[in-house]
Amino acid sequence: MARSVWPKIAVGAALFSLAGCGWLERAERPAWRAQAENYCLARDLVKPSAYVAPQPEIDGPGVCGLTHPFKVSALAEGTVAVDKNVTIGCPLVVALEGWLAEVVQPYAQADFGQNVVELEAFGAYSCRTVDNLAGAQLSEHSFGNAIDVSGFRLADGREIVIVRDWKKTDTQEAAFLREVHAGACQHFTTVLGPGADVFHYNHFHLDLAMHGATSTGPRRYCRPNPPPDLQPPPARPDGLPPAPDLEEPMDVARANLRPSAGPIDLRGPSAAIPPPLAFHIRPAPPPVLPADDGVDDSPTSAIPLSKDD
């Protein structure tokens, strides 16, 4: 009896030792994500309501999930509906509220004399890789940190649809989409729209990925680049050198994903997401819009930033 038990104990001890060395260590969600959610909640930046309802923690598969998810059916105290319920984190709720109040509604009033009453969205939380490509890094959608907006509905029932209206020339609808896209670049750290790549011909991808910092604030990726008259004045440098680019660990616990060569840093950056920069909104004349460029009508999502930069 002792002979049969002892090998099992020895094997168990060996496995425990290997686990301590990291061989069996489970991939972990980067710490800054939970820190950003906790920071947002601790300061009551989101008020739970019938439209923004707290949900149980989502933990997995792999590192996917949120510590404090919210199911959102409407924003702006229920005055701006979302055409389908979306699950997102507290920081993204705050960013969407700010974008609506400081960018979308002022431009809607300036261009159409009325407010937007509904956001049309393809979706938000989804545990998947970028563009659903095998072997790609996890999308910000996997952390409830991204939303895909496909259009807007005005108070009079008129719809402004990105896939239809972005490419039109000399229309208020196209000008409005250019304006709210440019304004989004000051409220989110990643903004991708038509012209960024073949995947975003029909929606805006908005997320709060942490790309590091520059001497003038958080590093932001905005594609396509807004015209100069829609960009805010440059921020004053803080005198510090830019932070290096950040690359998050891949979810090595998920099937069909392979870790990159070399050790993987599972700790992640420790700082919470900085608050969005202030952005002064002013009505702008309709920009000159590009002609139809015949982009490929492919399934949509976010693509790796390294391909956009």
* DSSP secondary structure of 33-59: HHHHHHHHHHTT-S---SSEEE---EE
At 111 the pLDDT is 97
In the numeric block, the tokens 């590009």 are attached to 290
Percent with pLDDT over 90 in the chain? 54
Residue among 179, 150, 152, 180 nearest 286 (CA): 179
- Taking 50 as the threshold, does the pLDDT of residue 1 lie above it? no
Tokens matching residue 119 = 């956001």
At 176 the pLDDT is 98
Determine contact, residues 212/245, Cβ cutoff 8 Å. Answer: yes
Burial class (CB in 10 A: 0-12, 13-18, 19+), 145: buried
- Taking 50 as the threshold, does the pLDDT of residue 301 lie above it? no
Tokens matching residue 34 = 């939970």
Higher pLDDT, 147 or 291: 147
At 243 the pLDDT is 65
Between CA 105 and CA 95 the distance in angstroms is 14
At 57 the pLDDT is 96
Burial class (CB in 10 A: 0-12, 13-18, 19+), 229: exposed
- Taking 90 as the threshold, does the pLDDT of residue 213 lie above it? no
Whole-number average pLDDT of the chain: 77
Between CA 45 and CA 252 the distance in angstroms is 33
Between CA 205 and CA 210 the distance in angstroms is 15
Q: Which helix (H) or strand (E) holds 94?
A: helix 90-99
Determine contact, residues 58/68, Cβ cutoff 8 Å. Answer: no
Bridge partners (DSSP) listed for residue 118: 81, 153
At 26 the pLDDT is 60
Q: Provide long-range contacts, Cβ within 8 A and 24+ apart, for 22-26.
A: 25/266, 26/253
- Taking 80 as the threshold, does the pLDDT of residue 16 lie above it? no
- Taking 50 as the threshold, does the pLDDT of residue 10 lie above it? no
Q: What is the pLDDT of residues 231-252, one digit of tens each?
A: 888 777 777 776 666 555 444 3
Q: What is the pLDDT of residues 75-93, one digit of tens each?
A: 999 999 999 999 999 999 9
Q: b/e string for 107-140 if b means 16 or more Cβ within 10 A?
A: bbebbbeebbbbbbbbbbbbbbbbbeeeebbbbb
Residue among 153, 154, 161, 144 nearest 201 (CA): 161
At 244 the pLDDT is 63
At 263 the pLDDT is 32
- Determine the distance from the C-alpha atom of residue 110 to the mean position of all C-alpha atoms in its chain, rounded to a whole number: 27
Q: What is the pLDDT of residues 150-160, one digit of tens each?
A: 999 999 999 99
User: Residue 197: pLDDT band by 50, 70, 90 thresholds?
Assistant: confident
- Taking 70 as the threshold, does the pLDDT of residue 292 lie above it? no
